[in-house]
């Protein structure tokens, strides 16, 4: 009987240590995912939202589909782009990807 109690007491600290290491491992994995995947994506979304909100008439932009043009008018959530002399197309503000003069980000 004493042998069983001694074995149970001897294995108890190892299990506790193992559990602590498992918790620390999972916390580290979650931390890595947050700082290398979630946080940069949130920053990028915030910058894109700020860019779209600050669009003004005369800016040269590129749409998500690759259409280049100059902003002719902004009305609420829509933007009218002049893509050639006399050719105007209407897009949603969210379809504007970046400024035409800005170089695309390299992956």
Q: Which token pair is 99?
A: 């400024």
Q: What are phi and psi of 50, to 5 degrees?
A: -65, -40
User: What's the CA gap between 31 and 96, in Å, rounded?
Assistant: 33
CATH of domain 56-101: 2.30.30.30
User: What's the CA gap between 55 and 46, in Å, rounded?
Assistant: 15
Q: How far is CA 37 from CA 24, 44, 107, in A?
A: 19, 11, 14
User: What's the CA gap between 99 and 68, in Å, rounded?
Assistant: 9
| pLDDT number for residue 20 | 92
* 0.95 exceeded by pTM: no
Tens of pLDDT along the chain (107 residues)? 554 544 555 555 578 888 899 999 999 999 999 999 999 999 999 999 999 999 999 999 999 999 999 999 999 899 999 999 989 999 999 999 888 875 555 55
| pLDDT number for residue 3 | 46
| pLDDT number for residue 12 | 56
């Amino acid at each position: 009987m004493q042998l069983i109690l001694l074995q149970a007491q001897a294995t108890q600290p190892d299990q506790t240590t193992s559990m602590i290491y498992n918790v620390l491992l999972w916390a580290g994995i979650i931390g890595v995912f947050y700082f290398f995947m979630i946080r940069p994506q949130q920053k990028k979304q915030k910058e894109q939202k700020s860019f779209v909100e600050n669009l003004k008439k005369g800016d040269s932009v590129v749409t998500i589909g690759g259409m280049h043009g100059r902003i002719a008018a902004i009305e609420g959530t829509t933007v009218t782009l002049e893509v050639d002399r006399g050719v105007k197309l209407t897009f949603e503000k969210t379809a504007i990807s970046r400024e035409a003069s800005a170089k695309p980000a390299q992956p």
